[in-house]
Amino acid sequence: MEPILKAERISKSFPGVQAVNDVSFDLRRGEIMALIGENGAGKSTLMQILGGGQRADTGQITLDGESLEFASANDALHAGIAMVFQELSLVGSLSIAENIYANRQPVGRLNNIHWRQLYQQTRDVLHRFNLDLDPATPVKRLVMGQQQILEILKAITSEPKVLILDEPTSSLTPAEADDLFKNVRALQAQGMTFIYITHKLSEVFELADRVMVMRDGKKIGVRDISEVNENDLVSMMVGREIGDIYGVLSSESPTGEEYFRIEGFTYRQTFQDISLELHRGEILGLAGLVGAGRTELARSIFGIAPKDEGRVEMEGKRIEIKRPQDAIKHGIAYLTEDRKAQGLFLDMGLSDNFIAPILKMFTGKTGFLNFDKVETHAVTQIHNYNIATPSTKQKVMNLSGGNQQKSMIAMWMGSQPKVVIFDEPTRGVDVGARFEIYQKLRELTSEGVGILLISSELPELIGLCDRILVMHQGRITGEVQQRDFTEELIMTYAAGVKN
């Protein structure tokens, strides 16, 4: 199959980091090539160079036999390369139609927008993903998964020769992901070529023709899908063998006593009459489709979001949680699904982030910070959580996704919580970092900490949890014991088919 794109000896460095190191590869016309590697391997930087978001220090890009240089993503788009970035670029105050067709709206001779035509075009493209949405709806009213689909549709409608998708299913439900795969295959059949970045190895084998593996900024190899299995790819990515990624499962019935309980949690139409109990050393899963109310419930427990009714008990005593400080005081930690926007102070250093929930532990009688104590704590957390950073002062925004996630865990574990609520703990995290995070979860439970785990990945819930509660439209529709774990059973509860 003839190459449509060639990248030759691409290199890119940032201060103190060689992000991409002498990488060459070709992309065959009409193929889907997966690109995988640990966070920090250089995948996104390499693709940003191809998509015009970054300029290479050295190297050459050839598209359809023509040597190209891009000063911007717009240059790359005009040449025929579009990229859907992991970070959304939509404008929340603009409508769905205005976002999808930004700078490409149908206009008349006086440059006036033909709104009826624009909205009809938008309805047609939304229909491809089974989205029944009003094209005039402001994007800020949509949930994360819907916004992710709009970002993809925005790129697809530009009809590029090469479409780069960076973790496109990170915020999608299984049904939405299936719709994406169907559209990708349909576009491939029409001649479009794809580079597909993902941490989900199952997607590699479901979708790709070939796979390229990167590690430490270098290309480790390119393989036909028929030549490899998951273990081969993991070994190429991390440079070592990884065994059972989820660790050792606990016994079917938690041995620890019940020590945390919520009863009757209700908030308008978001969630109704939710009760659950947590045992010491237990991982309790919370499954459900997007919009089931899981995150809203977690935020309400922690005091971020309101509730109309509900009580919380810790170790047999009722406690009042009206704000996050109350939850922290009682030993509850909440790790948000959106680490960049809500979980971390990106423009601050690691040491500042680590002490954010527990400032009082590092201040003296005068109220001033003890900087030696702060530094010692930061060094300890970096070591304990294996965070790759040149310094405790490194800004969190400059870390890879996996290291940012481990930093958020280190930040909250410094508060020595009794109950930890993890919301999507491994979203956008590579297999090596996942392994380390799962090990930390096991360590916490061995110390008697109870974990409420919210995840959209059923294999993750099944691999980690002692019990799983399933939510549908704001209510708990089922409880599944470890001996009964199957994806099919959990999905029947999540879809409201069984209760």
pLDDT value at residue 240: 63
Average pLDDT, integer, range 341-355: 92
**Predicted pLDDT of residue 177:** 82
Q: What is the pLDDT of residue 245?
A: 76
User: Residue 87: is its pLDDT beyond 80?
Assistant: no
Residue whose C-alpha is closest to residue 436's, from 246, 171, 283: 246
Any residues with CB less than 8 A from the CB of 148 and at least 6 apart, and which? 88, 168, 170, 171, 172
> Would strands 419-423 and 450-454 be described as parallel, antiparallel, or unpaired?
parallel
pLDDT in tens, 237-294: 877 666 667 876 544 445 689 999 999 999 998 999 999 999 999 999 999 987 899 9
In the chain, ranges of CATH 3.40.50.300 domains: 3-238, 258-494
Residues 343, 420: Cα–Cα separation, whole Å: 14
- Which has the closest alpha carbon to 472: 175, 328, 274, 252? 274
Residue 86 binned pLDDT confidence (cut-offs 50, 70, 90) = low
What percent of the chain shows pLDDT beyond 90? 55
Whether the per-residue pLDDT at 13 is higher than 70: the answer is: yes
pTM of the model: 0.69
**pLDDT tens digits along 111-124:** 888 899 999 999 99
Query: Hey, what CATH topology would domain 258-494 get?
Result: Rossmann fold (3.40.50)
Mean pLDDT of the 440-469 span: 93
Residues 450, 8: Cα–Cα separation, whole Å: 51
pLDDT score of 253 = 46
Q: Which residues pair with residue 214 across a beta bridge?
A: 219
* pLDDT band, very low/low/confident/very high, at 74 (cuts 50, 70, 90): confident
B/e letters for 255-292, b = 16+ CB within 10 Å, e = fewer, are ebeebbbbeebbbeebbbebebebbbbbbbbbbbbbbb
Under the banding of pLDDT at 50, 70 and 90, the label for residue 175 is confident
**The predicted structure's pLDDT at residue 269:** 87
Q: Which CATH superfamily is domain 3-238 in?
A: P-loop containing nucleotide triphosphate hydrolases (3.40.50.300)
Residues 6+ apart with CB under 8 A from 133: 96, 126, 142, 146
Q: Bigger pLDDT: 375 or 167? A: 375
The pLDDT score that the predictor gives to residue 367 is 82
What mean pLDDT, rounded, does the chain reach? Answer: 89
| Residue range 95-110, pLDDT digits in tens | 999 998 888 888 888 8
From CA 464, how far away is CA 247, in angstroms rounded?
A: 8
Instruction: Supply the pLDDT for residue 259.
Output: 94
Nearest to 357 by CA among 383, 334, 379: 334
